[in-house]
Structures are given as structure tokens and as C-alpha cells.
Amino acid sequence: MSVESPVVDGRPGAGQLLAAEMDAAALGRGKRRDLRPLAELFPFVRLHMTDAVASALFLIVSTTATLCLTLVLRIIINQGIGGHTAQSLDRSFLLLAVVAAVLSLATAGRFFFITRLGERVVADLREALYRHVLKLDQAYFLTVRTGEVMSRLTTDLTIVENMVGSSISVAVRNLLTFVGAFLWLIWLSPTFTALVVLLGVVVIVPLFVVGRWVRRLSVRAQEKFAQAVAFASETLDGLDTVQAFGREGHAAAKFAAAVEAAFRASMKRITARALMTALVMVSLFGGLGFIFWRALHASFVARDPHMNAGVLLQFVFLAVLAGGAAASLGETWGDVQKTSGAMERISELLRARPAIAPPASATPLPAPPRGEAAFERVRFAYPGRPDLPALADFSLRVRPGERVAMVGPSGAGKSTVFRLLLRFYDPQGGRVLIDGVDLRDADPAEARARIALVSQEAPMFSGSAFDNLRFGRDDASEAEIVAAAKAAEAEGFLSALPEGFDTPLGERGKTLSGGQRQRLAIARALVRGAPILLLDEATSALDAESERLVQHALDDAMKGRTTLVIAHRLATVLAADRIVVMDEGRVVDEGTHAELIERGGLYARLAQLQFGLQAA
């Protein structure tokens, strides 16, 4: 997007992030060997400690019950069956039923509380992340694509949700199971437990080695997927342009290439996970088979008195539990690695700090507002383009209630004036003031509350006409909204809609024509009732009759308000109290239309080109 393109919804077009830079960042993050990004989740978990504690208690109970099942099986073999009486058998199976009931209830409780915790934590994290993104300044979105941000709000948060709501519980359960089974194995037979330890070493060593590789590949796959989502978002946003230029095939091919790159990166991750799983399983079952063989020899061949049938069965089941827990830890460790990569990307976004922020002690703007705007020797260049100043020694003072039209060639700095007045950026030199207060000393929200913007593109939001009009001011009454629609000549077509003002307008209001969206945008600005109006040729999308009506409405709306207009039509400049001629970021002339035409110069040439012979 051009630097001097019109202001659209207060945000410049998203900049392009080079794939090479993204890959380098992904690989750089992949080199980290710790799980510190996961610590960023703790403040969100701490807000719901009741669920966390309840899930932990149920987890301990369910793990204990699982281990106790092996003891119950031993009792059934040695006392229930070995007792040769119906009573002993009944008591053994009653004990089994009690333990199974406890296990069932504890497992259900663990699932409920840990799942609710995961849903709640991710919901809070998603809200915090979106709220933080809304506060980032325009410079951030010159280097990060919107699709990249959306990927972190969706894909990465889904990964985090899976871990908090499932994987972490499974991991802790497996860890407790492994530790409990291991200690019980030592008590039953230190000799055979040594074999289990050897088996654990064989399983864990490749787990950590391959796990780091899996994490690196997971981050890379997430980055590739983010590129594909970002490209799809851009092309869908400009679908009409894509279709108008017949570039559907090109866009589809480019998206397919991005998807294939993401697929190849995912396949590398999947292959690594499959190899890791196979390695763990082969080591696990091979080791367990050897342990069972040795235990059977001890029981039936060596006639070890401590290794009776019940103990042997309990030992076997404990070994299976320990081995299964170790194998599951391998699976969940891969999920933890993947989640660490996703959380690091989320944390990067949360750590991003806007350059435009309220000062520690903001200077309040005077009340009631006067509507005065001033630029004093302003020097400004967009981030990444320090050698191409958009404004150079720019000075302009707009008196309260004055109508000023800005005219100049493309790239003269007209839209930049709007962006600085809205404080989307701060100048590198000079001052921008509203009602005598330097915007750098004021709260941006308070300053923007005194400004209403009508841009040339007239962006709308999904929802009804009422929703879009109330976007100007939340507390606006229905009567005020209808009055603003009438003033902007929008009440007629809105009332004719199937549900009137409550009719859904579709995504970005695409069910309306360009002129209808423009009139709705003007009505939205009127609802805001701000003392300063910024009009980026607000009547550009209207036909001659609608323009006449809306221009009349704007004339009434501008009375008593300060108005700055980026002018492209003769009617706009003729209605202005003063015309400011800009070129190369400076004011080169100013006056009324007649005065500027008489003096000749740049304005006379622009008037001849833009307004035709009628301008004379």
C-alpha cells in the first residue's frame, strides 16, 4: 500500500514479511533448549487456581487408584482364588469394584476440571492477546502481516489449549504413574527394577535427543502455515481486484505453493515424531519382553519364594504401567515441545510494545473542546523509509470551526497529516497539537475522541446498520442514529432494507453499493459528534444527486466544527474557508480558490487537471 494512500479504518496496509526472515526467526527460536515460554501461561492459570487444585487432587487420586488396581489383582490371585472359598473371592472382587469406582469418579473429575481450566485459560489468553493487538500502533503492522497475527490467535492458541486442557494432565498423570510404579517395583524386586531402570534410560535418551529436533520442526511448520494463512487473508480481502485482473489462477498457484511448503514442513515434523514413537515403542516392548522372561524364570525355574503368582502378576502390571507411562511421556513431550514453540510466538506478540502509548501522566485536553488543530515545523518519515520524508518542515494551524481543504499531487503528504493528527504515528521533529496540547503529552484515546473520520474507502463492519452507526458512539440513542442517517441521506435506503436498520449488512457491508456505504460512513461520523472532522473526499463515491444532498448535510454538520478535507472535487474546495496547497510534504501556498487561481502556480495547474475548465 502506498504511504500516501487514503486512511482506511485507521490502519495502513499490512507490510510484507519475507519468507527468509520468517524461516530464520523460526530456526533461531528452534535452537532454544528450554521450556521457559510455557511459564508465560502461569499468570493465566493462577486466576483459576480452584480448577487447577481440583484437577490436581483428582489426578493424584486417579493415579493412586490405577496403581492400587495392581495390588487388588495380586489379592485376587493370592487370596481370592488362592483362598479356595467363595467369601474370599467375593471380598477380593468387592475390593476391585470399590477401587474401580474410585478410579472412574476421579478420572471423570480430573477430565472435567482440567478441561474447564484449559478452556478458561485459553479464552482469557485469547481475549488478552486480541486486546493487546488492538493497542499496537500502525508501525507494527508495517512489518507483521495481519494473517500472521491471526495465525497466533487461532492455530497457536489451539495448540496451547490442547496442552493445557489435555496434554499437561496426561503428562503429569504418566509421570506420577511412572514414579509410583517404579517405587513399588523396587519394593517388590530391586533386581528386576534395575532392568526397568535400564529400559528407562534406553527410552528417555533418544526421547530428549529427537524431542529437540521435533520442536524445531514444529516451529518451522507453524511459521510456514502462518505464511499460507496470511496470503489467503490478503487475497480474500482483495478478491474483487483478483477477479477483476483475472489473477485467480496465479493466486491459487501461489497459495498452493505456500500450502505445500507448510505441508512439507509438517511432514518433516510428522516423520520425526513417527521415528521417535517407533524408537520408543521398540525399546519399550523389547525391554518389557526381556523383563517378563526373567521374571517367569525366577518364579517357575528358580522357585524364588518372593515371586509367587500374585506378586508376579502385580510386577508385570506395574512394569506395563511404568513402560506405558514412559512411552506416553514420549508422546506428550513432543506436544510440550510443540506448545512451547506456539507459546513463544504468542509471547512475542504479547511482548510487542506500541510506540504510541499514553504518557505516565497525561496532560488533559481542555474542556469544553475548541476544535483547534496545529502542526508546528513537523518532520516525519514512515518507519523503514527514513530517507523519504512524508512531511518536511510542515506547519499549519486550523482555527476552531474553520474548513480547510488540502490539495496536492499524490505523495504530497495529505493522508499523513490525517494519520499524525489521529496520532497513529509521532513525528520525528516538530509538534502536533489539538486545542493547544502536544499529542505526545495527551492520552491518544482522549485525543481521538475529539475526531471523526470519513475515509474514501468507507470501511464497514459485519452486523446491522445500527451496529455500524453505533460504532461512532456506543451511547448514541436510536433517535440520534436515525437523525444522523437522515442528515447523511442514508435513512431512505436503510429503511427500505428487509429489516430496516436491523438488517445485517454482510461482511464489510458488501451488500450495499459504494455510495450507500459512503453515506453510512458519513452518518457514523455525525453520530460521533466530534469537534474535528477529517474527510478524505467523503463524497467521492456518490453520484451527482447524492453528492449534492450529502454535501448539503455535511455543510450543516460542519457548522461549528473544525474540518480538514482532502479534496479531489471542485465543490469541496469552493466550500472551504481556506485551501492549503501541499507538495513534497510542505505547504507551498494557501488561500481561497479565486486567489490561488489568480496567482497561478501549482494550484492552478492541479485545478486545471483535477477540476477541468470549470475550475476557472
| CATH (domain of 207) | 1.20.1560.10
Whether residue 223 is found in the same domain as residue 111: yes
Lowest mean pLDDT among 9-13, 80-84, 319-323, 366-370: 9-13
**pLDDT of 5:** 35
Whether residue 305 is found in the same domain as residue 208: yes
Q: How confident is the model over 358-363, as a mean pLDDT?
A: 84
Closest CA to 556 of 471, 486, 453, 468: 486
Whether 31 maps to a domain, the answer reads no
Q: Report the number of distinct structural domains present in the chain.
A: 3
Lowest mean pLDDT among 10-24, 84-98, 196-210, 592-606: 10-24
Residue of higher predicted confidence among 254 and 16: 254
Whether residue 343 is found in the same domain as residue 414: no
Whether 547 maps to a domain, the answer reads no
**pLDDT of 274:** 82
CATH number for the domain including 401?
A: 3.40.50.300
Given strand 451-454, what is the order of strands in its sheet?
A: 451-454, 532-536, 562-566, 403-407, 578-583, 586-591
Q: How confident is the model over 299-314, as a mean pLDDT?
A: 62
Identify the domain containing residue 378 by its residue range.
373-450+531-541+560-616
Peptide bond into 359 cis (omega under 30): no
pLDDT, the chain, mean = 78
Residue of higher predicted confidence among 58 and 410: 58
DSSP 154: I
Q: How confident is the model over 135-155, as a mean pLDDT?
A: 78
Highest mean pLDDT among 48-52, 322-326, 337-341, 573-577: 48-52
Residue of higher predicted confidence among 541 and 142: 142
Is residue 196 within 8 Å of 244, Cβ to Cβ?
Answer: no
Residue 395 has pLDDT above 90, yes or no: yes
Say whether 452 sits in a helix, a strand or coil: strand
Lowest mean pLDDT among 60-64, 117-121, 183-187, 549-553: 549-553
Say whether 471 sits in a helix, a strand or coil: coil
Residue 520 has pLDDT above 80, yes or no: yes
Residue 11 has pLDDT above 50, yes or no: no
DSSP 12: P
Beta strands 578-583 and 532-536: pairing type? unpaired
Whether 356 maps to a domain, the answer reads no
Percent of residues, the chain, with pLDDT higher than 70: 83
Whether 361 maps to a domain, the answer reads no
Whether residue 379 is found in the same domain as residue 442: yes
Whether residue 437 is found in the same domain as residue 568: yes
Whether residue 418 is found in the same domain as residue 488: no
Separation between Cα atoms, residue 269 and residue 30, nearest integer Å: 13
pLDDT bin (cut points 50, 70, 90) of residue 379 is very high
Whether residue 436 is found in the same domain as residue 465: no
Whether residue 346 is found in the same domain as residue 493: no
**pLDDT of 252:** 86
Whether 231 maps to a domain, the answer reads yes
Percent of residues, the chain, with pLDDT higher than 90: 11
Whether residue 328 is found in the same domain as residue 406: no
**pLDDT of 516:** 81
Whether residue 147 is found in the same domain as residue 243: yes
**pLDDT of 256:** 85
Highest mean pLDDT among 12-16, 73-77, 538-542: 73-77
pLDDT bin (cut points 50, 70, 90) of residue 572 is confident
**pLDDT of 54:** 92
Q: How confident is the model over 250-264, as a mean pLDDT?
A: 83
Separation between Cα atoms, residue 227 and residue 299, nearest integer Å: 61
Q: Among 507, 529, 551, identify where a domain stops.
A: 529
How big is the CA angle at 96 (ends 94 and 98), to the nearest 5 degrees? 70
Whether 72 maps to a domain, the answer reads yes
Highest mean pLDDT among 199-213, 321-335, 404-418, 499-513: 404-418
How big is the CA angle at 73 (ends 67 and 77), to the nearest 5 degrees? 155
Residue of higher predicted confidence among 541 and 596: 596
**Residue 246 CB neighbour total at 10 angstroms:** 8
pLDDT bin (cut points 50, 70, 90) of residue 246 is confident
**pLDDT of 6:** 34
Peptide bond into 6 cis (omega under 30): no
Separation between Cα atoms, residue 341 and residue 34, nearest integer Å: 10
Whether 360 maps to a domain, the answer reads no
**pLDDT of 197:** 72
Whether residue 432 is found in the same domain as residue 480: no
The amino acid sitting at 183 is: L
Beta strands 578-583 and 403-407: pairing type? parallel
**pLDDT of 420:** 93
pLDDT bin (cut points 50, 70, 90) of residue 82 is low
Lowest mean pLDDT among 96-110, 300-314, 449-463: 300-314
Instruction: Name residues whose C-beta falls within 8 Å of residue 215's C-beta, 6 or more positions apart in sequence.
Output: 30, 337, 338, 340, 341
Separation between Cα atoms, residue 218 and residue 220, nearest integer Å: 5
**pLDDT of 18:** 30
Residue of higher predicted confidence among 524 and 197: 524
**pLDDT of 16:** 32
**pLDDT of 480:** 85
Residue of higher predicted confidence among 507 and 612: 507
Lowest mean pLDDT among 53-62, 330-339, 448-457: 330-339
**pLDDT of 28:** 40
pTM for the whole structure: 0.64
Q: Which residues make beta-bridge pairs with 534?
A: 453, 564
**pLDDT of 605:** 84
Residue of higher predicted confidence among 597 and 324: 597
Whether residue 301 is found in the same domain as residue 159: yes
Whether 176 maps to a domain, the answer reads yes
Residue 202 has pLDDT above 80, yes or no: no
Q: Sign of torsion, CA 55 60 65 70? A: positive
Instruction: Name residues whose C-beta falls within 8 Å of residue 2's C-beta, 6 or more positions apart in sequence.
Output: 410, 411
Lowest mean pLDDT among 5-19, 152-166, 217-231, 460-474: 5-19
